[in-house]
Structure 1
Amino acid sequence: MFRIRFSIFLSVFVAMVGLMIIAPVMPPLIRELGLNELHSGIIISLGSIAMAVMAPVWGRLSDRKGRKAVIVIGFIGMFVSYVLFTATMYAGLSQLIGGGLLVLLLIVARGLIGMFIPAVPSAAQAYMADVTDEKGRAGGMAFIGAANGMGLVLGPAIAGAFALIGLIWPLYIGALLPIVALLVVTFLIPAQKPVIQEKLPKVNPFQKGLTLYLFAGLATMLSIVTLQVVGGFYFQDQLSLTTKETARMISVGLMISGVAMIVTQGLQMKNPKWQPKPLILVGSLLVIISLSLFLFFMNLMVYYVAFFLFGIGTGFMMPGFMAGSSLAVGREQQGSVAGLVASVQGISAVIAPILSTSLYQLDKHLPFAVVGVLVILMGMTLLFSNKEKGYTTQRHL
């Protein structure tokens, strides 16, 4: 069991690092290529759209073809996509290509990365559901959540470290990591037979017992992405910081939040007694408190406390909505529901940047206020929801 869990953890971690390692170097690389911010936005957004669209496809495919096969395909696709993306960047920096062709190739390559990355977490989450029972499901999903959180924290850090050698070096690492993970998965994860032998109806995201957990996932991911996108602007304006002070402050804050998230999920793995609903409700309360601290105080230390509470809160909510979604369907649909969960994350990555920056232009407090209202609405809906039955009884939820 250890080698399976280690392989799943590494797979999800590498997929998240592959996603995050691009973000810190994209703005300077775009400037070096002579392109503008609009080009960067289009390239990144289309990649996120590809993630949202393909995640359910990979999830269903893992039900039919097996979890390991889809993870392997995902890593091979990530490697090829990263090689194409890196080669295109190199050609642009070397002035071998430029203009519309350069933009087109970057869009295609980033789109391919977005297409293949969700294959890994979708199949990995379904695999974890296969090897855990109902009582241990939240702990298993906390394991995946910890891998997500670690990738979220270390991805930009790895990018920053290798960017000291050269701006394009993080992309080299992005191409190398899938090969390392592919070797680990190939030799350590045993192949499983597909869980279904014939085509079943697609999982309906609006079916009873599932919708609320997907809603919880959307609220969680919108909260995380909103803080990442507008946090720098907000804290600079609130505390009248310089750009260097802002970069330092937001880096420390996100690091505190990421570490809190990882530790919280690590504790859940060792003591997986809590079930999805209480995990989400407690996490929601902590997230609301942290957003309130962001909104109603103008003090650096208070903000660091808020980052810490935010990390704990999202550390509860992530395994909560993952496990809740998994328990809402049967064994033969775990891949499909894992794909929906990954799709929610991709949708958040598309919506949050546009929505949060637009709201910020109206009033700097609006992004956090709107996210806070969304989390409250989600928490209240979950708290007062009828005791619905999916494939598990409410006492398990």
Structure 2
Amino acid sequence: MSTPHPDAGPRPQIGLLLGSVFLAYLGQMTLNPIIAPLSREVGLAEWQIGVTISAAAVMLVVTSQFWGRRSQSWGRKPVLVAAFGLATATMAAFALVAWLGMAGVLTGTALFVLFVLLRGIGFGSAIAAVPPTAQAYIADVTDDEPTRVKGMAGIGAVQGVAMVGGSVLGGLLAAVGLLVPLIAVPALLAAGLLLIAVRLRRETHTELVEQPPRISPLDTRVWPFLVAGFGMFTALGFIQVITGFVVQDRLGLDARATGLVTGGALLAAGVGMVLAQGVIVPRSGWAPPRLLRVGGMIALAGFVALIPDAGATLLFVAILLIGLGLGIATPGYTAGPSLLMRREEQGGLAGLIGATNGLTFVIAPTLGTALYGAWPPLPIVLGTIIMAIVVAFVLLHPRLREAR
């Protein structure tokens, strides 16, 4: 059992930090089930939605290290207040733009540019602050491997719960009308802003790190984990943005039904993630390398099962396995290198992990949607190949086998 770091104060606010992660991702996941049918309702092509998601990923890459280090030098509260304020404003504006698009007032290039600016650049910059801030905080108040792994799994678990809740909420609200979940998203983000502004305690000057160091991705303590994480999330990126299109095209659904069923598919992934990070990882006691190996193999099985067009049951099982596998592997990817870093390096490391995750979604969604337009199974096949390479890497690399 670890003792909280003295710099974290007598009562670490881990639950509150996890609550902020939950609300941020609940807002994002509520939007996910409707993004594919929404794009078709407003007349945007698949590749344009891919570019929008990729723009958000670019902002994750550009801003994650900045946010992670600022969470140690400015404090968690100023960073999260700024992030939730920006997220609320951009998604409120996005809802308005989407409504104008559905009404035919905004069309073509102007609509596409606003989608990229608001959902891509604005929201991407905001959401980039949340996971690094939470990860750096968890690393700051946990001292041993099992507690660190459980803490990082807690972040993933609330993301999984948010995926479940957002999938259900987005799907159900989409059955009423595509505009309804668009209104719900900024409301959820505003609730997060209020929670942080009222409840989160500011650190004292002595608890802050004046100049947190920037962490190099080539640092020998870090890069094997980054390679594994980059591969996992690249594989995921190829299928995540096309899930709505796969559901609609394979099952022959209209826009409203697609939103509902896509919500169910994302719910399956969320259930797998919650089961992995809320139950399996905390009880397993596995070290980070073993989490990477076991999770990678389960996720690979899910990717293989997703390739054939064999009906709704196999589709849902495949997505469940992908969520379960990545849910097991991700705490190994995030906790592993943090155990090798000093306290003042944790913000930079958390930001580097966030940037790596974002980098995987710069190219994969745009390329995935473009490949889907050429031949629907192609992005799934490519994601499967990448996941197989990741599994081979984590099984064979000596540094990952020895990491403690």
Q: Relative to structure 1, is the Cα distance of residues 334 and 268 closer, same or farther in structure 2, using a 3 angstrom cutoff?
A: farther
Residue in structure 2 matched with residue 181 of structure 1 by the alignment: 192
Asked if the contact 2:21/2:130 (under 8 Å) is kept, the reply is yes
- TM-superposition CA deviations, 1:298-323 (whole Å, max 9, x none): 57655544444333211101111111
Identify if the C-alpha distance between structure 1 residues 103 and 296 changes in structure 2 by more than 3 Å, giving closer, same or farther: closer
State whether residues 196 and 332 of structure 1, in contact with CA within 8 Å, keep that contact through their aligned partners in structure 2: no
Take 1:301 and 1:243, find their aligned partners in 2: how far apart are those partners? 16
SS of structure 2 residue aligned to 1:22: helix
Alignment: residue pair count: 390
Cα RMSD (Å): 3.4
Superposed CA offset, 1:46-104 (max 9, x none): 23322332222211211221223211211111122223323434455567666655544
Say if 1:35 and 1:11 are closer, same or farther in 2 by CA, change over 3 A. Answer: same
1:163 maps to which residue?
A: 174
Partner of 1:76: 85
Partners of 1:128 and 1:177 lie apart in 2 by 24
Deviation at 1:180, TM superposition (A): 1.5
Aligned 8 A contact 1:4 1:188 in 2: no
Counterpart of 2:125? 115
Contact kept? 1:230, 1:360, Cα under 8 Å: yes
State the AA in 2 paired with 1:322. Answer: T
Matched, 1:8 2:17: yes
Distance 1:159 1:297 in 2: 25
Per the TM alignment, residue 147 of structure 1 is displaced from its structure 2 partner at its CA by: 1.5
CA deviation after TM superposition for structure 1 residue 125, in Å? 1.4
Partner secondary structure for residue 169 of structure 2: helix
Q: Is the 8 A contact 1:15 1:120 kept in 2?
A: yes
Aligned residues: percent identity? 32
Deviation at residue 262 of structure 1 after TM alignment: 0.5
Q: Which runs of 5+ in 1 are unaligned?
A: 389-393
Whole-angstrom CA distance in 1 between matches of 2:105 and 2:258 = 36
Residues 174 and 181 in structure 2, CA contact (< 8 A), matched pair in contact too: yes
Query: SS at the partner of 1:169?
Result: helix
8 Å Cα contact 2:160-2:274 kept in structure 1? yes
Q: After TM superposition, give the deviation of residue 211 of structure 1 in Å.
A: 1.1
The separation in 1 between residues aligned to 2:364 and 2:224, in whole angstroms, is 19
Question: For 2:137, which of 123, 127, 137 is the aligned residue?
Answer: 127
Question: Higher mean Cα deviation, 266-275 or 107-116?
Answer: 266-275
Corresponding residue for residue 7 of structure 2: none
- Summarize the Cα distance change of 1:39–1:303 in structure 2 as closer, same or farther, 3 Å threshold: closer
Find 1:23's aligned residue among 19, 32, 48. Answer: 32
After TM superposition, the structure 1 = structure 2 runs for residues 246-325 of structure 1, keeping only pairs within 5 Å, are 252-268=264-280, 270-271=282-283, 273-295=285-307, 298=310, 301-325=313-337
Quick check: 1:86–1:171 contact (8 Å CA) kept in 2? yes
Q: In the alignment, which residue of structure 2 is the partner of 1:391?
A: none
Distance in 2, matches of 1:270 and 1:241, equals 37
Q: How big is each residue's C-alpha offset from its partner over 1:165-215, in whole Å with a ceiling of 9 and x where there is no partner?
A: 443222222112122122323344332347664435411012112112122
Q: Is the 8 A contact 2:33 2:263 kept in 1?
A: no
Q: Quote how far apart the aligned CAs of 1:337 are.
A: 1.5
Report the Cα offset of residue 130 of structure 1. Answer: 1.3
In the aligned structure 2, how far is the partner of 1:21 from the partner of 1:303?
A: 21
Deviation of the 1:357 alpha carbon:
4.1
Q: Which amino acid aligns with 1:20?
A: M
Structure 1 residues 247 and 270, CA gap change in structure 2 (3 angstroms): same
Distance 1:234 1:29 in 2: 15
1:124-149 deviation per Cα after TM superposition (whole angstroms, max 9, x unaligned): 11111112223211111111001222
Indicate the residue corresponding to 1:190 in structure 2: 201
Alignment check: 8 A CA contact 2:163 2:267 kept: no
Q: Which moved more, 1:276-285 or 1:125-134?
A: 125-134
Residues 296-375 of structure 1 mapped to structure 2, 5 A cutoff: 298=310, 301-360=313-372, 366-375=378-387
Are residues 1:137 and 2:148 paired?
yes
Q: Secondary structure at the match of 1:208?
A: coil
Summarize the Cα distance change of 1:366–1:185 in structure 2 as closer, same or farther, 3 Å threshold. Answer: same
Q: Which residue of 2 aligns with 1:152?
A: 163
> Could you tell me how far apart the structure 2 residues matched to 1:370 and 1:294 are?
12
Change (3 A) 1:197 1:251: closer
CA 7–109 in structure 1, closer or farther in 2 if over 3 Å, else same: same
Whether the 8 Å contact between 1:230 and 1:356 is mirrored in structure 2 is yes
8 Å CA contact 1:134, 1:396 repeated in 2: no
Q: 2:167–2:267: 8 Å Cα contact kept in structure 1? A: no
Q: How far apart in 1 are the matches of 2:171 and 2:280?
A: 30
Q: 1 CA distance for matches of 2:276 and 2:165?
A: 17
Structure 2 unaligned regions, length at least 5: 1-9
Q: CA deviation at 1:112?
A: 1.1
CA distance in 2, matches of 1:204, 1:106: 33
- CA displacement at 1:115 relative to structure 2: 0.9
**Counterpart residue identity of residue 304, structure 2:** S
Letter aligned with residue 13 of structure 1: F
SS of the equivalent of 1:108 reads helix
Closer, same or farther: CA 21–349 of 1 in aligned 2, 3 Å: farther
